[in-house]
Amino acid sequence: MKILVTVKEVAEAADDFELSENGLDIDERYLEYDLNEWDEYAVEEAVSIAEETDDADVEVVSVTIGPERSEETIRMALAKGVDRAIRIWDGTIEETDLLDVEARAEILAAVVADEEPDLVLTGVQANDDGFGATGVALADTIGFEWAAVVNHLDLDVAEGIAHVHRELEGGVEELTDVELPAVLSIQTGINEPRYASLRGIRQAQSKEIAPYGLSDLGLDAAIVDSPLSLTSMYEPETESSATVFEGDPSEEAGQLAELLRDRGVVEA
């Protein structure tokens, strides 16, 4: 059995961030990169399935569309037990300002065609641009069945079914049987992601990260063309009408304490 996990390196904006000169992104200096939170849970799920399955040869392969910088993040996934990684990048992708959902699905679909996994795990959403759409779009593109926002997974390979819980709003879970092969978008909290062990980190150094460009995957450069374009980015006008308590921590706490007393939370 083979499990493909999609792994994105996402950027987080520092507290004091500034926008870049062209006004279309946050200035690179204020961005910190990390493995997407949701993908961390997807990686853990894949690796623990591999560990718990009797069939000794469950292979876990990760795929990332990302620049060379993202290899650091990919190594983290490898250190946690992913067997090998694929990284897709080239000049065409580099020059695309907005790699839309359709383009990402097309690229990942080409990897699925090569690798022929039985199961694909993605995160529910990427924490930077948060489209929340890649997994399900991929499923439609490759003709796999799917389930989004999965917070419990019980795989019955013999029966060819994934018994999942989908986490709906308001503390309700939907219990669903999904035919394999399938794409599942994984929700946080489904498991407890492990820390990479020292041994894992050492082993990750010798694991393969295969670099591919669009043409290696037999894809035309035109697939990245998108009718969507990012036209502006700005800090939202603050709707805040908050009273700010100023001063040192003890003064700030004093003002809040006074408010709480006024409100009768604690006796004056």
Ligand X SMILES: Nc1ncnc2c1ncn2[C@@H]1O[C@H](COP(=O)(O)O)[C@@H](O)[C@H]1O
Ligand Y SMILES: Cc1cc2nc3c(=O)[nH]c(=O)nc-3n(C[C@H](O)[C@H](O)[C@H](O)COP(=O)(O)OP(=O)(O)OC[C@H]3O[C@@H](n4cnc5c(N)ncnc54)[C@H](O)[C@@H]3O)c2cc1C
Q: CA 14 to CA 5: how far, in whole Å?
A: 28
Regarding 149 and contact with ligand Y (CB under 6 A), the answer is yes
CA 267 to chain CA centroid, nearest Å: 47
Q: CA 214 to CA 218: how far, in whole Å?
A: 6
Contacted entry of other proteins, ligand Y, ligand X, none for residue 13, CB cut-off 5 to 8 Å set by kind: other proteins
Among 58, 147, 196, 214, binds other proteins (CB under 8 A): 147
Regarding 132 and contact with ligand X (CB under 6 A), the answer is yes
Among 50, 58, 65, 93, binds ligand X (CB under 6 A): 65
Among 3, 4, 7, 178, binds ligand X (CB under 6 A): 7
Closest to 129 (Cα-Cα) out of 28, 25, 44: 25
Candidates 87-95, 111-119, 130-138, 209-217 — which segment interacts with other proteins by CB under 8 A? Answer: 130-138
Closest to 93 (Cα-Cα) out of 3, 204, 226, 210: 226
**Which of residues 147 and 149 has its CB atom nearest to ligand Y in the complex?**
149
Regarding 193 and contact with ligand X (CB under 6 A), the answer is no
Joined together, the tokens standing for residue 64 give: 């990332």
Candidates 55-63, 82-90, 112-120, 246-254 — which segment interacts with other proteins by CB under 8 A? Answer: 246-254
Among 66, 117, 193, 200, binds ligand X (CB under 6 A): 66
Count of chain residues binding ligand X (CB under 6 A)? 22
Joined together, the tokens standing for residue 187 give: 């929700």
Closest to 6 (Cα-Cα) out of 43, 45, 52: 43
Answer whether 75's CB lies under 8 Å from 33's CB: no
Regarding 136 and contact with ligand Y (CB under 6 A), the answer is no
Provide the b/e sequence for 210-220 (b: ≥16 CB within 10 Å): eebebeebebe
Among 68, 154, 216, 256, binds other proteins (CB under 8 A): 256
Which residues, other chains included, contact 254 with Cβ-Cβ below 8 Å and sequence gap of 6+? Answer: 247
Answer whether 152's CB lies under 8 Å from 44's CB: no
Among 5, 90, 178, 219, binds other proteins (CB under 8 A): 178
**Shortest spacing between CB 50 and ligand Y, in angstroms:** 25
Regarding 213 and contact with ligand X (CB under 6 A), the answer is no
Which positions from 110 through 129 interact with ligand Y, judged by CB under 6 A?
Answer: 124-125
Among 27, 72, 179, 220, binds other proteins (CB under 8 A): 179
How many CA atoms lie within 13 Å of 98's alpha carbon, on the beta-carbon side? 15
Give residues in contact with ligand Y (CB under 6 A): 124-125, 149
Q: Using CB under 6 A as the criterion, which residues of the chain lie in contact with ligand X when the complex forms?
A: 6-8, 36, 38-39, 63-66, 104, 122-123, 125-126, 129-135
